[in-house]
Amino acid sequence: MKNAKNSPTTRYCYHCRVHHPVEEMKLLVTKTGSRWRCVKSIEAVKRSKDERDQYGRQVSAANQSEASSRARILNKIQSER
């Protein structure tokens, strides 16, 4: 049985800023050190420029939606005080 502290079931993808199951992640070496990145984002790089741009827009829209949602929640919490 795996210990959650020693081997997490998810990893944070620095590209799309989401936690994915470990099975969907690869450890990449970058200029700043090793980072985890999801296989989906790695495969997206191998596609045509138009497909990459579309994938980037989807990831940006998801990130923007999440940020807006968090901001709304924080504003609601602060206004209730």
Q: Inform me whether the pLDDT recorded for 22 exceeds 50.
A: yes
Q: How many domains does the chain have?
A: 1
Average pLDDT over residues 8-21: 88
| 5 assigned to some structural domain | no
| 3 assigned to some structural domain | no
Q: Supply the pLDDT for residue 39.
A: 93
Q: Which structural domain, as residue segments, surrounds residue 58?
A: 10-80
Measure the CA–CA gap between 37 and 19, rounded to whole angstroms: 10
Report the percentage of the chain scoring pLDDT > 90.
44
Q: Supply the pLDDT for residue 26.
A: 94
Q: Supply the pLDDT for residue 71.
A: 93
| 4 assigned to some structural domain | no
Average pLDDT over residues 34-44: 89
Kindly provide the residue ranges of all beta strands, DSSP E only, lying in the chain, ordered along the sequence: 10-13, 18-21, 25-30, 33-38
